[in-house]
């Protein structure tokens, strides 16, 4: 029976695996099944509440929020066994994010009633979902890292460690329940609050009124504003103690289906907390940083906003986000910062004489930045028709790029030591010149040309006419196709960095110097993996620049990648997370972040995992050598 498939599947999926057989059978029996082709939107941000919890049976979805007209903030990628739609389901509120199928996706649907029953009877179930909708789905290895981290002992999680009193709105504004609806709403709008506590004659809270009540019970019903507020206030006052943890508050909201709780401290009303406050405590905070950047009219304001990135990483690490999600969110934030700097500069200089595209490359191009990284950027502009246009362009873009460079510097992005920046006239060129650069490197793969290719070929547009970047990408793909010699040179370069692991699976560390007993995770671990994947991507004309997306794209198109795709993704995620944690701890203790890891300080599980990862990278390098054997020397 099809239900048996469902049962079998649920038995391996958290938190269903913790339920007893009879309950599981009951759940499985009420499930329906939906299919969403790649690209279709399953939930719409601000759309109607989800009526089901959807568990992904097969496929992948991305969860993202749109904050402006073209702005997407990536929240999470979810895959088989993950679920979505939980929060809007239990709150009955509009959906908070867009969920789009990024592959053909099959979901199991569980109805609201069944979920509410489970929440009520199984505390484990409730806790799991409260954790998981915060993007805290982490596998054992990740957990281990988080647990071990110096800063966050014992699986620290915000929802479970922050007392609700800390984030409640303090200094509650109250009004008498005898006032009219009009008076009450005036108090609310004057004080810019979304809820108002109403008291009886002796000052004891008697009810609460929220924006939602005004909308649902007054405006849409055409009610008379001179009616007493007590006629529409909600008298189910649900209280929480200030010392309760946030997740307990959230549970109460879910259980009583309310959006506000009164926070009581020592028997006295201390504040009000809304589900929105709890939301801000969690995953949506990247948005507030993004909004803050968006609203700055000048560079000075951006400096302040950009400092919050470190805080944001702190939050994401605490929430147990995957490395790829952290780096993507950082990329999004840094992209916005860069766009804003350019926008402000353009405003100062007036409109450009020609269309152009601001591109970034290196780790920025791959969306794999961790903390503030060197500026790696360039400008491609449209071919100027005549000499005068060419002169205008040179003058304008040289002024623009210098100002942008300095603006980014102020925001904490150091200049590139190799001067791979748009402010270097060599890297601020019309598209024809860029094509010439690329074809020269490919035709004459000198060591220097290959090194440049490794950096520049990861380019990605950030601002301006993305069509120029796309044109250049097309050109590159065409120019590189079948150029075995160039690819051979590239292969030859990238196999020089080998994972620091010896014949007996021991770690190879620096013997002397500043980094004695350590190895360079970036050069010896990340670079070889990124380089090998780039090589395969260039062989197959894959347009994506991020390593994980390249792997996904290559899975179907490259025999070497096919067998290892999943392992490669895990290895990459793990190494990146190790790196982010390492750098974060350095930053917090006031050091400049580096990439040197001392293996003896890793836990056994981490050691084993990283050895496996290095072993895999060696294997991939072996395949590269095999493939380009005649050209390897």
Partner 1 sequence: MVRTAALLNFRKRKESPAEEDLPLNRARYVVIDTELTGLDEKKDSIVSMAAIRMTGGAIDLENIFTRVVNPASSLSAESVVIHGITPSETAGKPSIEDALSEFARFCRDDLLVGHCVSIDLTFINKEMKRAFGSGLGNPALDTSAIYAWIVKRSPEKAFPRSFSGSGLYEIASYFGIPVSGAHDAVMDAFITAQVFQRFIPILIERGVEDVGDLLRIGHPSRGGENGRLSGEMYGL
Residues that bind partner 1 (CB under 8 A): 1-3, 5-6, 28-37, 40, 58, 104, 109
- Please, which residue, 41 or 506, has the CB nearer to partner 1? 41
- Please, which residue, 50 or 210, has the CB nearer to partner 1? 50
Cβ atoms of residues 356 and 472 within 8 Å: no
430 - beta bridge partners? 381
- Please, which residue, 47 or 155, has the CB nearer to partner 1? 47
* 618 phi and psi angles, rounded to 5 deg: -60, -40
3-class DSSP assignment, residue 199: strand
3-class DSSP assignment, residue 378: strand
* 113 phi and psi angles, rounded to 5 deg: -60, -45
CB of 106 to partner 1, least distance (A): 8
507 DSSP assignment:
B
- Please, which residue, 26 or 567, has the CB nearer to partner 1? 26
How far from chain centre, in Å, is Cα 99? 14
Which residues fall within 8 angstroms of residue 566, CB to CB, at 6 or more apart? none
72-79/60-66 β-pairing: antiparallel
83-84/52-58 β-pairing: antiparallel
- Please, which residue, 42 or 578, has the CB nearer to partner 1? 42
CB of 45 to partner 1, least distance (A): 21
22 by Cβ neighbours in 10 Å (0-12 / 13-18 / 19+) ranks as exposed
260-265/239-241 β-pairing: parallel
Query: Which strands, in side-by-side order, build the sheet including 428-430?
Result: 428-430, 377-381, 356-360, 460-464
The position carrying tokens 């599981």 is 24
CB of 50 to partner 1, least distance (A): 13
Helix (H) or strand (E) run with residue 141 in it? helix 140-148
Return the sign of the alpha-carbon dihedral for residues 42, 47, 48, 49: positive
CB of 535 to partner 1, least distance (A): 29
Burial 583-596 (b: 16+ CB within 10 A, else e): bbebbeeeeebbbb
- Please, which residue, 107 or 333, has the CB nearer to partner 1? 107
CB of 509 to partner 1, least distance (A): 46
CB of 317 to partner 1, least distance (A): 36
- Please, which residue, 52 or 420, has the CB nearer to partner 1? 52
CB of 22 to partner 1, least distance (A): 16
* 49 phi and psi angles, rounded to 5 deg: -60, 150
CB of 34 to partner 1, least distance (A): 5
- Please, which residue, 111 or 415, has the CB nearer to partner 1? 111
180 - beta bridge partners? 228
CB of 40 to partner 1, least distance (A): 7
- Please, which residue, 32 or 426, has the CB nearer to partner 1? 32
């Amino acid at each position: 029976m099809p239900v048996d498939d469902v049962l079998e599947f649920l038995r391996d999926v958290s938190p269903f695996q913790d339920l007893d057989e009879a309950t599981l059978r009951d759940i499985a029996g009420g499930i329906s099944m939906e299919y969403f082709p790649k690209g279709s939107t399953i939930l719409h941000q601000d759309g109607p509440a989800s009526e089901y919890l959807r568990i992904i049976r097969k496929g992948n979805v991305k969860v993202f929020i749109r904050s402006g007209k073209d702005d997407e903030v990536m929240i999470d990628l979810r895959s088989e066994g993950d679920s979505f739609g939980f929060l809007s389901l239990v709150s009955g509120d509009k959906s908070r994010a867009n969920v789009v199928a990024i592959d053909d996706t099959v979901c199991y649907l569980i109805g609201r009633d069944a979920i509410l029953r489970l929440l009520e009877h199984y505390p484990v179930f409730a806790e799991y979902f409260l954790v998981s909708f915060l993007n805290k789905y982490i596998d054992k290895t990740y957990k281990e890292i988080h647990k071990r981290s110096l800063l966050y002992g014992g699986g620290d999680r915000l929802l479970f460690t922050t007392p609700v009193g800390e984030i409640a709105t303090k200094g509650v504004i109250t009004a008498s329940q005898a006032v009219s609806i009009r008076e009450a709403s005036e108090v609310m709008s004057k004080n810019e609050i979304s809820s108002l506590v109403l008291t009886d004659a002796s000052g004891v809270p008697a009810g609460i009124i929220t924006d939602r009540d005004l909308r649902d019970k007054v405006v849409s019903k055409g009610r008379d504003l001179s009616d007493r507020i007590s006629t529409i206030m909600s008298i189910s006052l649900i209280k929480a103690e200030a010392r309760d943890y946030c997740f307990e508050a959230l549970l109460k909201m879910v259980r009583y289906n309310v959006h506000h709780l009164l926070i009581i401290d020592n028997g006295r009303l201390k504040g009000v907390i809304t589900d929105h406050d709890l939301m801000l405590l969690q995953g949506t905070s990247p948005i507030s940083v993004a909004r803050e950047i968006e609203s700055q009219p000048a560079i000075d304001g951006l400096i302040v906003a950009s400092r919050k990135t470190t805080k944001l990483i702190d939050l994401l690490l605490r929430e147990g986000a995957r490395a790829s999600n952290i780096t993507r969110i950082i990329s999004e934030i840094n992209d916005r910062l860069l766009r804003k700097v350019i926008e402000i500069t353009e405003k100062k200089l007036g409109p450009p004489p020609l269309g152009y595209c601001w591109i970034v490359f290196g780790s920025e191009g791959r969306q794999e930045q961790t903390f503030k990284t060197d500026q790696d950027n360039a400008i491609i502009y449209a071919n100027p028709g005549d000499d005068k246009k060419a002169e205008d362009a040179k003058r304008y873009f040289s002024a623009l790029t210098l100002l942008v460079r300095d603006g980014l510097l102020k925001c904490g992005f150091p200049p590139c030591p190799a001067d791979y920046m748009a402010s270097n006239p060599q890297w601020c060129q019309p598209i024809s010149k860029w094509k010439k650069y690329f074809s020269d490197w490919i035709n004459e793969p000198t060591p220097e040309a290959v090194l440049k290719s490794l950096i520049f070929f990861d380019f990605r547009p950030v601002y301006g006419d993305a069509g120029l970047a796309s044109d250049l990408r097309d050109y590159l793909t065409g120019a590189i196709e079948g150029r075995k010699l160039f690819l051979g040179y590239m292969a030859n370069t990238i196999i020089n960095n080998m994972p620091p692991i010896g014949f007996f699976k021991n770690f190879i560390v620096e013997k002397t110097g500043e980094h004695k007993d350590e190895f360079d995770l970036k050069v010896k671990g990340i670079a070889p993996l990124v380089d090998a994947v780039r090589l395969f991507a260039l062989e197959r004309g894959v347009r994506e620049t991020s390593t994980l997306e390249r792997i996904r794209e290559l899975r179907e198109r490259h025999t070497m990648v096919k067998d290892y795709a999943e392992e490669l993704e895990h290895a990459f995620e793990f190494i990146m997370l190790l790196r982010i944690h390492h750098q974060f701890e350095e930053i917090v203790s006031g050091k400049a972040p580096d990439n040197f890891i001392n293996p003896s300080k890793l836990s056994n599980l981490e050691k084993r995992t990283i050895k496996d990862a290095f072993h895999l990278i060696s294997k991939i390098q072996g395949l590269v050598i095999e493939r380009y054997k005649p050209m390897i020397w």
